[in-house]
Amino acid sequence: MRLKYLVICDIGPFRGRHIFDFSEKSDHSGYAFFAKNGRGKTTIYNAMKWALFGTVRQKSKLVNSTVVEGKNRPVVDENDKGTMLMNLDAWMDDSPQSMSVLFVAEGNFGELQVQRTASSKTLARRDKDLDFSLSVSIGGRSFQDEAAEEQIAMIFPSELERFFFIDGEEVETYTTMMKSSTNGIIDDIKSILRLPSLTRGVEDLKAVRRSYDEAIDADSKRQLRDSKRADKARNIQGQLTTVRKQVTELEDEVKRLTLRRDGFNEKMSQYDELKLFADEKIAIDAKIELLESSMKSHLETFIKDFSEAGNIILWKRMQPIYESLAEQNDANQSRQFRLDQLRNEAGKLKSTIDAFKSICDKCHQPVKNAEEYLEQRRKEYNDILTEIKSHESSGISNPKALRLKLNALQDHFQPSNGSLARLKRSYGDYTGQQQQYLDLKERQGRLSELVTEDSAKEIRDLATKSAQTSQALLKKEKELKAAKFREDELERSYSNARPKSTDSNQIDTVFELRDIIKRFIVGIEDTVLSYSKRATKEVELEASKVFLELSNAPEAFSGIKLNNQFKARIYGSDNRPVINPSSGMEVMMTLSIIDALRTVSRLDAPVFFDTPARSLDKDHKNGMLDYFWRKDRTQFLIFAHSGEFTVEEIVENDLASFRKAWELFWPVDLVDQCIHCWSHDVAHVSKNENSCNECEKITDKRKHQTNAKLVDLTNGGI
Amino acid sequence: MSDLAIKDGTLEISKEAHIFLEELEYNPKKQVFDKIKFFGVNQKNDIFKLGFSIGYVMKLEFRDSDAASRMTIAPRGFAYDAYRTFLEDEAVQRKMSIGGLLSAYANAGLLFLKEHLENGRDIVDLFD
């Protein structure tokens, strides 16, 4: 793949749009940017990284032999203007603000255009205030944003970034890592060998296998649980089958009864006219039946009251007799009382007369008027006797017989009090009901003439059957509802009780898949191991080849060897590790390995090398350029500090076998030259400003705005 | 009261009166409500007494009936002595037993009642 154009706009010290053209085809692969510090070498380097990966990191550090990546640099940050990527003037003056990079390349996929833009219509203080967009065109097909990122990742895998964006300042770090074979470099080397995808694939497959193992384990546990649940479920299923059968039978029965009831109702509709009479007759029949029941009760009361009827009538004649006898009895009782009284008085008088003495017992004197007193008592006594005789002769002969008669009349013939009134009342009630009864019977008789017994019977039968059917239907509907409710209950219970997954095929498939994955894993691990060994060998050979070419004393070395942990060492021509190699040798070793890794990985991308000659002596840096800038190699772009390389130096040393080179200037770097058109026809306008007589633009020496000047390589270049 | 010993005698009424007597009985098993019933079954004593009361109070003339066709009323514990208290003299006078005199009055009374009801008159009239 060849880089064709790079267009940067308002990034770093580059104000406005700057176009770098790499499109001319050439056998030479070298391109260079020369500048003093701060002029934007690394900005161009970073601009390409930003275009391709969307981020630019600060320098990584080596902490405890591990590479710790730097933080992402912000596009804008009002609190950290020193690290922000956007041109400061553009950020402060432009509206809308925008920073963009267009990366155009050509490869076996056709032309690649990558344009990444960060913009904001209002002042963006932080990156979150910016709108980022990415558009990618590959072979005429366009992609945006996420899809565009995916397309870039296919061509420039981010994990390989370190091997085509080489930072000279980090080469020493790399060297340290390679010598100590830390984890960081292993990961990087694995990345360059494209092993992570396989390794990740293995890890992914192992994760899948673990999930299958867990599924199988869970399945065996579930099977145990399920066997218990299955017993319960079978039991419920048995009940459910029975209930479902009941439901079906009941549904049939309800359907049958509905049809039957409707049939009766339809038949009954044929008797609509007669039905009125029949209904009345039925009603009257019912009334009569009800009345008969009531009459029976009233009749029993009446009969009870009427049982006194004989006495009531007889008493008409018996009452005077009874009263006469009672009177006689009363008189007799009065006379008897008088007799007893008289006899008592007579007895007392007789005793008084018999005991009377004419001489006083106490004073023994004669009683005064004694004879008169005694005579008077005798007279009274005789009068009483006369009256007694008179009473005795006037009385009835047998008072006992009289009382017997009275008792007989009273006990057997005297009606109880109010009996007549009760009899009349109950008789009235009963006869009233009887009249009603007779009226109903008469109406019943007339209706019977209108409604023949047959039709009435049929209507009655139909009504009865319809009612019975409706009742039966109601009953069955209730049973059906209950059965359905039960069915629902059992279905829910069954659903809860039955094993959740009884699909044995599913778990069999899991077993099969697990075995397949297991074989895959073994296969991939074998492949990784095999490839790793082969690739390591290949890298060793390639790195040794490069190293020997880069070395200024190739005869002293046999090459570079990597152990299983990718720990690299330089071997001498005696096939022994070189003890205490120089730092330049080690940097060369690192570059050799990086280049070898890229070669082995078949990574087809330009190499961007920032500050490439750092820590290299003159021989090594010249050797490096000599190697990387040879014909038919991948494009190799260096971003060289003036302390590393100068154009003059390269030309003088006949190293200028590169295609193009640019020098980056600030106005202050130029003496009487226009920063815009590079014309020397300028006039001093003020202390810091020159005015160009050709482009008429001002060159202000105070501004830190970079412009790139194409180096004239007519003499030393291609 | 006569010294003549008056027998209790049999209680019997004419067949016609007996049929009528039975018509006055209410048999719950038959439950006929279109005719008025006045007495329950086993209340022949009371029916007989009603007949007697009507005949005796109204001093109805005895009605001759064929002795062979008379139907006996055989009430248990019939209180002959109670009737004797006021019928004995008349029984002596008529030279009838107490039962005979009772039966004659009852027969007359029942047949009177039968005719009374058959003529559409109300039984209650008899009580006023």
CA Rg value for chain B:
15
Orientation angle between helical segments B98-118 and B44-57, nearest 10 degrees: 90
What does the pLDDT average to over B17-44? 84
The bridge status of strand A131-138 relative to strand A110-120 is antiparallel
- Are B38 and A314 within 8 A, CB to CB? no
B120 within 8 A of B26, measured Cβ to Cβ: no
Name which of A299, A313, A413 is nearest B126 (Cβ-Cβ).
Answer: A313
- Is the bond leading into A74 cis (omega within 30 degrees of zero)? no
Q: Residue A237: is it exposed, middle or buried by C-beta count within 10 angstroms (0-12/13-18/19+)?
A: middle
Residue A185: pLDDT band by 50, 70, 90 thresholds?
Answer: low
**Residue B52 with chain A: CB contacts under 8 Å:** 310, 314
A571 Cβ partners below 8 Å, 6+ apart?
A557, A558, A559, A560, A561, A577, A578
Q: Which residues pair with A134 in a beta bridge?
A: A116
Q: Kindly state the tokens that stand for A673.
A: 């030259």
The answer to whether residue B124 is domain-embedded is no
**CB neighbours of residue B95 within 10 Å:** 10
Buried b (16+ CB within 10 A) or exposed e, A380-419: ebeebeeebeebeeeeeeeeeebeebbebbeebbbbeeeb
Q: So what's the pLDDT on residue A313?
A: 93
Q: So what's the pLDDT on residue A657?
A: 63
Alpha helices in chain B (DSSP H): 15-23, 44-57, 80-94, 98-118
Structural domain for B77, as ranges? 12-119
Judge whether B36 is closer than 8 Å to chain A, CB to CB.
yes
C-alpha count within 13 angstroms, C-beta hemisphere, residue A21: 6
The answer to whether residue B20 is domain-embedded is yes
The answer to whether residue B27 is domain-embedded is yes
Share of chain A above pLDDT 70, in %: 91
Total number of domains in chain B: 1
- Are A313 and B123 within 8 A, CB to CB? no
Mean pLDDT across chain A, nearest whole number? 84
What does the pLDDT average to over A451-479? 85
- Are A412 and B33 within 8 A, CB to CB? no
A699 within 8 A of A684, measured Cβ to Cβ: no
Residue with tokens 């087809």: A604
A350 pLDDT above the threshold of 70 = yes
- Are B127 and A317 within 8 A, CB to CB? no
Rounded Cα distance between A621 and A584, Å, is 9
Q: Which domains does chain A have, with CATH numbers?
A: 1-156+605-666 (3.40.50.300), 317-415 (1.10.287)
Q: pLDDT by residue (tens digit) across A582-608? A: 877 888 888 888 888 877 777 778 888
- Scanning every residue of chain B, which has its alpha carbon at the shortest distance from the alpha carbon of A413? B82
Residue A173: pLDDT band by 50, 70, 90 thresholds?
Answer: confident
pTM of structure: 0.49
**Residue B53 with chain A: CB contacts under 8 Å:** 309-314
Long-range pairs, A496-500, Cβ under 8 A, ≥24: A497/A229, A497/A232, A497/A233, A497/A236, A498/A229, A498/A230, A498/A233, A498/A237, A499/A222, A499/A225, A499/A226, A499/A229, A499/A230, A499/A233, A500/A222, A500/A226
Q: Which of A88, A83, A59 is nearest to A169 (CA)?
A: A59
What distances in angstroms separate CA A350 from CA A356, A368, B91, one per listed residue?
10, 21, 51
The answer to whether residue B4 is domain-embedded is no
Q: Which residues pair with B115 in a beta bridge?
A: none
Judge whether B82 is closer than 8 Å to chain A, CB to CB.
yes
What does the pLDDT average to over B35-64? 88
- Scanning every residue of chain A, which has its alpha carbon at the shortest distance from the alpha carbon of B50? A310
**CB neighbours of residue A257 within 10 Å:** 20
Judge whether A311 is closer than 8 Å to chain B, CB to CB.
yes
Mean pLDDT across chain B, nearest whole number? 86
The answer to whether residue B61 is domain-embedded is yes
Q: Which of A649, A703, A672 is nearest to A32 (CA)?
A: A649
Rounded Cα distance between B65 and B107, Å, is 9
Q: Determine phi and psi for A712, rounding to 5 degrees.
A: -80, 110
A534 Cβ partners below 8 Å, 6+ apart?
none
The answer to whether residue B105 is domain-embedded is yes
B117 three-state secondary structure = helix
- Are A420 and B50 within 8 A, CB to CB? no
The answer to whether residue B114 is domain-embedded is yes
B30 pLDDT above the threshold of 80 = no
A197 pLDDT above the threshold of 80 = no
Q: Strands, E, within A159-254: which ranges?
A: 165-167
Rounded Cα distance between B7 and A708, Å, is 173
Rounded Cα distance between A132 and A116, Å, is 7
Task: Please count the residue pairs, one from chain A and one from chain B, whose beta carbons lie less than 8 angstroms apart.
Answer: 86
The answer to whether residue B128 is domain-embedded is no
What distances in angstroms separate CA A96 from CA A15, A78, A201, A434, A560, one per listed residue?
14, 16, 45, 116, 54
A319 Cβ partners below 8 Å, 6+ apart?
none
- Scanning every residue of chain B, which has its alpha carbon at the shortest distance from the alpha carbon of A309? B50
Rounded Cα distance between A338 and A269, Å, is 95
Q: pLDDT by residue (tens digit) across A523-580? A: 877 777 777 777 778 888 888 988 888 777 788 888 888 876 677 888 888 888 888 8
Q: So what's the pLDDT on residue A718?
A: 36
DSSP secondary structure string for all residues of A109-127: TEEEEEEEEEEESS--SSG
Judge whether B28 is closer than 8 Å to chain A, CB to CB.
yes
